[in-house]
Amino acid sequence: MEILVILLVVAALIGFVVVLYNRLVRLRNAYRNAFAQIDVQLKRRHDLIPNLVEAVKGYMTHERETLEAVTEARANAERMREQARGAIGDPAAMARLGQAEGALGSVLGRLFALSEAYPDLKASTNFMQFQEELTSTENRVAYARQAYNDAAMDYNNAVESVPSNLIARQFGFEPVGMLEFEDRETIQEAPEVSFR
């Protein structure tokens, strides 16, 4: 009789741990999946920029420095993206990626502000198309980032709150970093500010 009770208690405990573990795994997969979506959109953003620089180079003859800064910021952001992909959720990697994307956003904003001085450039179809594509990409990144942060928050809540926190550390579930872009306002406003 006593053995039966002990067995039942042990089985219930194991069942409890299994349920908690599975929940953590599900939440971890959700935020990783959400990060994959941001990754796709950031890649799209980075792929657009060399074409943009190529298109404006002929017109913006006096802005060599700015163009170089854009290229450099883009290369840096691309490097951070590669790194972050290898360490999804690592708070330091997320912060560095956010910083690099923020820097890229603000230097792009500067480029668009400068383009005001080049009427020929502003009138070119190519440039207008870039504006629409960049606006869309910024929006996609923003929506994907929102989805990632929501998923990361759900996961963090599970890792840090009772009772799942009791097993989270044992099985290697660590809290993950949110993705905040330092220069978020500039990024989202960039095309608007420059063209109004």
How big is the CA angle at 151 (ends 77 and 187), to the nearest 5 degrees? 35
CB nearer to another protein: pick between 110 and 140:
140
> Two tokens at 26?
């599900």
Cβ distance 96 to 80 under 8 Å? yes
CB nearer to another protein: pick between 20 and 31:
31
> Minimum CB separation from another protein for residue 143, in Å?
4
> Minimum CB separation from another protein for residue 96, in Å?
23
CB nearer to another protein: pick between 21 and 195:
195
Residues in touch with another protein (CB under 8 A)? 37, 41, 122, 128-129, 131-133, 135-136, 139-140, 143-144, 146-147, 195
> Minimum CB separation from another protein for residue 129, in Å?
7
Peptide bond into 163 cis (omega under 30): yes
Place of tokens 């799209």: 44
> Minimum CB separation from another protein for residue 140, in Å?
5
**Cβ atoms within 10 Å of 3's Cβ, excluding its own:** 7
CB nearer to another protein: pick between 83 and 136:
136
Q: What is the DSSP string of 61-83?
A: TT-HHHHHHHHHHHHHHHHHHHH
